[in-house]
Amino acid sequence: MRRWVVALGFTVLVAPVRATEAQSVQEVLLRAKPAVALVVSEVAAQVTLNCGGARTTVEPAPFRETGTGWFVSASGWLVTNAHVVSSAHRPPESLNAEMAKKATRAGCRATNVKLEPSISVVLSNGIRMPATVVKYSPPVAGEDMSGRDLALLRLEAADLPALMLGDSNALKLGDHVHIIGFPGVVLTHELLNASAKVEASVTNGAVSGFRQDKTGQPVIQTDAPAAWGNSGGPTIDDRGLVVGVLTFVTQSGGDQGTIVQGFNFVIPAQAVQDFLQGTEVKRDEPSRFNAAWHAGLHDFFAGSHSGAARALAEANRLMPELPDVVRITRENDEKVKNPPPRPFPWVIVAAGVTLVSLGAYGTMFVLRWRRNRFRIKPSELVRMIDSADPPVILDVRDATTYDRSPVRIPNAQHVTPQSLETARPDLGVAPDRTLVAYCT
């Protein structure tokens, strides 16, 4: 019984502590989202037209492609797909003819095309920053897919949110994964405002296979939904670690191929680690934003809203007006003003009941021991009487009980309790003789 009680007390006190160590999926995704950014690859042009002897310069609508990237280091290092930035990093020859065609009008012909490529990164708060390509691993010639379809961009910034790489080799079939990115259907949706379009979206799925691309490079298949614009986006596990980078989606055949969901492919994180070898990227670089944002989320989900307010304010100071930071801060402020009712403290009550029960049983044991510490069994008394040195037996019953009782103990001396309380009677017993008292 005692062993069961101790074990129960251990379970009640320790189990809640272990439960608080795990982060919810919501907290994991909120930690990760600020580190994901929209990548815009754009090629503008100045086209010189000869219109019957008169020359004029026309700037047609730029060629623009979008994709997703994520910060692998707090000092402005961003990873994306090579095919996301290929049009601006290495503009194809066909782009000259396309721009000339856009600019040409009746009676004029293009005599010169000057391309002006640029790459920029748009954070979730709408801030747009120029970026340069530091390392580029082109996709397979003529294809928008490869196990090394990666590019490393550099921005002039510091204390940015960043994600950590995980171990893609440890992935198993059925493991949960989450793709974060900027699908084109959201960017072009007519019902969304501008701020909503630059906030990353999350889709969820699982690892559904391990494949190889045309070059023999490993890729991971997932059933997490994705679309054009998600390319280059991080694929994270339930701990928030990047286990891969989305590289291409599956399309149906035909000229108007549509995306077939459930069959999307991811470059493993191990390939990203290999790609970053030899660069100046410091993956263990601390981020003050990460420290503040993660601390704020931890306190918020733990119910410590006063502590969360300070950390969230610091995160907003470092990266102003990020949608998730603003949203959580607003919700946290509301909880500070109107704290929710505290849940009944079952853990504390259970621990208190356990301790009180242990104390009560301990007290009862001590009292019983004190009361019976001099008591002997009848069999032991018989053994003592039959011994060579029998004890002196005192019949300590009150006078009325003694007179009415037919029971008499042979060779016993009758002493009333009252006489023992008021005086110390001389029983004529040697000090070294054993006394055995009988009372009711």
Which range (14-23, 126-135, 198-207) has the least confidence?
14-23
pLDDT for 259 equals 58
Percent of the chain with pLDDT over 70: 86
**pLDDT of amino acid 250:** 56
pLDDT digits (tens, 9 = 90+) for 140-173: 655 544 448 999 999 999 999 999 999 999 999 9
User: Which of 73-91 are b and which e, b meaning 16 or more Cβ less than 10 Å from the residue's Cβ?
Assistant: bbbbbbbbbbbbbbbbbeb
Residue 393: how many CB atoms within 10 A of its CB? 19
Q: Return all residues near 8 (Cβ < 8 A) that are at least 6 apart.
A: 354
Least confident window among 20-24, 316-320, 333-337, 409-413 = 20-24
Q: What is the pLDDT of residue 319?
A: 94
pLDDT (tens digit, 9 = 90+) per residue, 88-101?
999 988 998 899 88
Q: Per-residue pLDDT for 2 more than 90?
A: no
Helices (H), 260-398: 269-276, 288-302, 305-318, 323-337, 346-372, 378-385
Helix 25-32 and helix 288-302: axis angle, to 10°?
A: 160
Cβ atoms of residues 303 and 333 within 8 Å: no
The answer to whether residue 6 scores a pLDDT higher than 60 is no
> Confidence band (pLDDT; 50, 70, 90) for 51?
confident
**What single-letter amino acid sits at 72?**
V
What is the percent of the chain with per-residue pLDDT over 90, rounded to a whole number? 53
Instruction: Indicate whether 283 pLDDT > 90.
Output: no
**Most confident segment among 43-52, 137-146, 315-324, 335-344:** 315-324
| Cut 0.75: pTM above it | no
CA distance 84 to 67: 6
Q: Is the pLDDT of residue 210 over 50?
A: yes
Per-residue confidence (pLDDT) for residue 8, from 0 to 100: 31
- Let me know if 187 is exposed, middle or buried by CB neighbors in 10 A (0-12, 13-18, 19+): middle
Residue 151, strand partner residues: 80, 136
Residue 219 pairs with which residues in a beta bridge? 211
Specify the amino acid at residue 34: P
Q: Is 265 exposed, middle or buried (0-12, 13-18, 19+ CB in 10 A)?
A: buried
Could you tell me which of 78, 55, 75 has the C-alpha nearest to residue 67?
A: 78
d(CA 128, CA 133): 16
Average pLDDT over residues 378-394: 80
Q: Once rounded to an integer, what is the mean pLDDT over residues 388-395?
A: 81
Domain residue spans of the chain: 19-276, 288-337, 374-440
Q: Is the pLDDT of residue 20 over 60?
A: no
- Which option is the CATH number for 19-276: 3.20.10.10, 2.40.10.120, 3.40.1130.10, 3.20.20.140? 2.40.10.120
Is 308's pLDDT higher than 60? yes
Q: What is the structure's pLDDT at 320?
A: 95
**What pLDDT, on the 0 to 100 scale, is given for residue 262?**
66
Sign of CA dihedral 23, 25, 26, 29: positive
Residue 112 CA, distance from chain mean position:
55
Please give the average per-residue pLDDT across 114-126, as a whole number: 94
